[in-house]
Structures are given as C-alpha cells and as structure tokens.
Structure 1
C-alpha cells in the first residue's frame, strides 16, 4: 500500500490561493455595494432632496408674493423680482398682440443664484422655481430651473431661456421631450403670469450651440430649426440622451397671454 506524502509547501501555496480568492471576492462584493449605494444616491436621494427643496422654495415665493400684494409692489424682494406687465393682458389665441408685447424692465435685477419666478408646465405636472444663472451647484443641483444670464426676462421681446436637469437632482426637465405644439408653459412672477405656447422642438444639437438662446433663437448647428423674426420667446434646454450630457434638447415657445397678479 502506497502512502501519499503531502508537502508543506504545497499546502501553503493552496492556502494562499484560497485566501487570495476569498479576499478578491470580498473586495468585489464591497465595490459592488459601494457602486450600488452611489447609484441609489444619484438616482433616488438627490431627486428626493432636490424636489423637496424646490417645493419649499415655490411655497416660500408664493407666500412672499401674497404678503406683498397689498404693499408697495415688493421693492424689497431679496430673491429678485419678476418682470412687470406694462401692457394690457393679451388673451390666449391673440398671437399678434402677444408677439407685440415687449414687457417692462424688472423692478430690480434678479440676484444671481436666487429664485425669483416659478415655471409651470401643466402637461407634465411641473411646478419648479426659476433662479438666476445656470450654476450646477447653486441652482440646477437644487432642483431649480436656471435662467441664462444675458437672455431676456419673462414677457420681454427676445428670448427668456432656461435650463434644467433631465436626470438626477430633481430632474425637472426629464420629460420635456413629451411637449407638443400648443402645450402651455407658464412663468409666474411677483407681478404677472406669462403664458407661452410650445411652438417647436429641436430634438438634438451640440452642447455648444449658442444660437438656441439668442434673442432670435435659431440653431447654429441645424439652421432649419429656429426663428427669423423678433418676438417674445421662451427656450427650455436640457441634456440628451438621458443620463448623458453630450447633446442638448431644446423646446421653444411663444408668448400668448399676460395676466397681471
């Protein structure tokens, strides 16, 4: 009968291999859990916190405007005021009058990163603050919509252009690709509510296509999309495809009604 002799060195090598495999497995499981937590944080937690903060800011603006309704017009607005209506309200459907409305200069210039208006899109069930500027940290990541500095204010002739996240941090513009011609987009300010009707959509353009936010918005990348004459426009921009920031999706609308508060 032959007795098998096991060398200690072979046992040690076998133990080391098992230990390495076990350690490697633990590292992979830990890394997987960390990645899962990061995904949950980005896709759920940031949305939850940003939406809650945005809702509170909308409520705060509405309380502020209500408190100032019987006062002096809110000259002390710390968040920046909206634009005032200097012309009689245009009725929905009276496109000529709405296009001719130039609006008035804001009673005070909006403060950078501060919310001063509320964007409402009934079709999407959206009601979100509008803040001055498009800083990710101070505006967009709070779940707000950001107003491109240098573009016009609500109701003015020119282009009131805004941006919002499509994914994470409240993702207010997640579904703006679902908007169709004649869908309404409202901008509420301290002084008036400006109603725009969706007119055109640019499904995809370069992130550097600055033409879409010009006073007469027209794509520099895809010139067939945009306008050729002055008017009171609104521009909504967000990233596309979803979960990327490579391109931009653009929705345009025209002013159709102004309702003083």
Structure 2
C-alpha cells in the first residue's frame, strides 16, 4: 500500500512538473514574442510621432546646438536589415538592460551616436522577445543595415561574416573595434563604424556573434527611402 502511494505521488509530481515545463516553453517561445510585437510596435509609433512633431530645421538660421544626449530606455532610431526580411523593422533604444531588450534592440550607451565617428554598437536577442537576430548568421559582407532617426537615413554596409567570440571580448565595441582575435574586424583607424551583437548558440548565451559594418551613405528623409530599401 505504501509503495503504491509513493508511486502514485511520484507520478502526479512528474505530471505536474511536465505541465509546468510545457507552460514555460510556451511562454518563452510564444508569449515573449507576443509581448515583443506589442512593445516594438509601440516604440516605433512613439518615435514616428515624435519625428512628426519635431521642428523642421531652418537652413538660414544659426548652426543648431549640439544634439542632446540619448535618454536611457528611450527610442533613438529604427533599424532595417533587408537580408533578414522585407518586413524586418526594429526600434533601437538607448541601453542594453534586460528591460530595454524586451522592447527592441539596445544601443550600447558608451558607444558612438548614430552616424558619428566611432562605433555605433547595438545588441539584440537571438531568441525570445520577437527573435530579432534569429537569422544573424545569414549576414554577409555588403549587406545593408539602414537606420533612421527621423531626419536622416544612415546606410551602413556589413564588412565581415559573423564573428564568434566570448562575452568578455568587450573590445568588439571599441571606437575602432579591437576583438581578441587580431584583425577580425579589419579596421585600423578611426571611422564611422557599426557593431551588431547577439547571443550564440541560438538558444544559449555562452558565446556571442558579432558583425561589423561601415557607414556607406546618408541622406535626408525628405528625399525618400535610400536605395537599399527602395525595392
């Protein structure tokens, strides 16, 4: 009798544990994506509304003041990567905290501003919260990464295949990228660079995948979409 009770109790615990595991997997694979879709759409809507309301620069006026510092947690740009899909569109927010990366991509706060000399560096989830960088390994040299801040289009071009490294390889986001593997980035002097980072392997975080790019072109949003997005 006692053995039967133990077996029954153990079986019930296994069933309960299995149900919890299934619910957790469903949450990770499905519900975080639903949350991310709503959050990212909200971030893009907010940015676009701010851009509509911002004053149009007066070409005859005195030089404008230096741009304000990015506000932690706030949207700063929208990114497009045609290689990752025609509908791939993600907001870039300031900071890389877990809370920020639930809403979109995150700009490393210590790195350069968009389009400026230095290294504009961005992190994103490989999986969960919309899987923004799920297809990161598909990136190839020459691929366009296009961003807009509401006034200007910035077209960067990927210069390397994804580079696999460890989380402590922080030199990948230096102003002139200095990864542990010498010359992996291919840059040896100041420039206007882009670094994209995500987790590796696909469902883990023991390593990182890195892709670097260089600013290729800029033009005002009033001239329409850049050639990289024209198709």
TM-score range, shorter chain: 0.7 to 0.9
How many angstroms does 1:60 deviate by? 2.3
Q: Is the CA contact (8 Å cut-off) linking 2:137 and 2:162 kept in structure 1?
A: no
CA displacement, residues 11-45 of structure 1 (integer Å, 9 cap, x when unaligned): xxxx2211211111011000000011011101110
Q: TM-score, normalised by structure 2?
A: 0.87
Q: Measured at CA, do residues 31 and 105 of structure 1 come closer, stay the same or move farther in structure 2, by a change above 3 Å? A: farther
Q: What is the number of residues matched between the two proteins?
A: 213
1:249 aligned to which of 202, 209, 215 = 209
2:12 aligned to which of 4, 26, 42 = 26
2:43 equivalent in structure 1: 57
Name the SS for the 2:160 alignment partner. Answer: strand
2:101 aligned to which of 137, 140, 147 = 140
Q: Measured at CA, do residues 255 and 105 of structure 1 come closer, stay the same or move farther in structure 2, by a change above 3 Å? A: farther
1:176 aligned to which of 114, 117, 136 = 136
CA distance in 2, matches of 1:244, 1:257: 35
2:225 equivalent in structure 1: none
Q: Is the CA contact (8 Å cut-off) linking 1:202 and 1:225 kept in structure 2?
A: no
CA displacement, residues 112-140 of structure 1 (integer Å, 9 cap, x when unaligned): 11112111111213211111110112x01
**Larger CA Rg, structure 1 vs 2:** 1
2:81 equivalent in structure 1: 121
CA distance in 2, matches of 1:105, 1:234: 25
Q: Gapped runs of 5+ residues in structure 2?
A: 58-62, 222-231
CA distance in 1, matches of 2:214, 2:74: 25
Q: Is the CA contact (8 Å cut-off) linking 2:108 and 2:122 kept in structure 1?
A: yes
CA displacement, residues 123-170 of structure 1 (integer Å, 9 cap, x when unaligned): 213211111110112x0122x111111110111111000100101112
How many angstroms does 1:233 deviate by? 0.7
2:197 aligned to which of 237, 251, 257 = 237
CA distance in 1, matches of 2:211, 2:189: 17
Q: Is the CA contact (8 Å cut-off) linking 1:207 and 1:247 kept in structure 2?
A: yes
CA distance in 2, matches of 1:202, 1:106: 34
Q: Measured at CA, do residues 105 and 149 of structure 1 come closer, stay the same or move farther in structure 2, by a change above 3 Å? A: farther
> Cα RMSD over matched residues?
1.7
CA displacement, residues 50-71 of structure 1 (integer Å, 9 cap, x when unaligned): 1221022112212321233xx2
1:47 equivalent in structure 2: 33
Structure-to-structure mapping, 1:1-261, within 5 angstroms: 15-68=1-54, 71-72=55-56, 107-125=67-85, 126-137=88-99, 139-142=100-103, 144-220=104-180, 222-226=181-185, 227-261=187-221
Structure 1 window deviating more from structure 2 (204-213 vs 15-24): it is: 15-24
Q: Is the CA contact (8 Å cut-off) linking 2:77 and 2:93 kept in structure 1?
A: yes
Deviation >6 Å, runs of 4+: none
Q: TM-score, normalised by structure 1?
A: 0.77
How many angstroms does 1:259 deviate by? 1.2
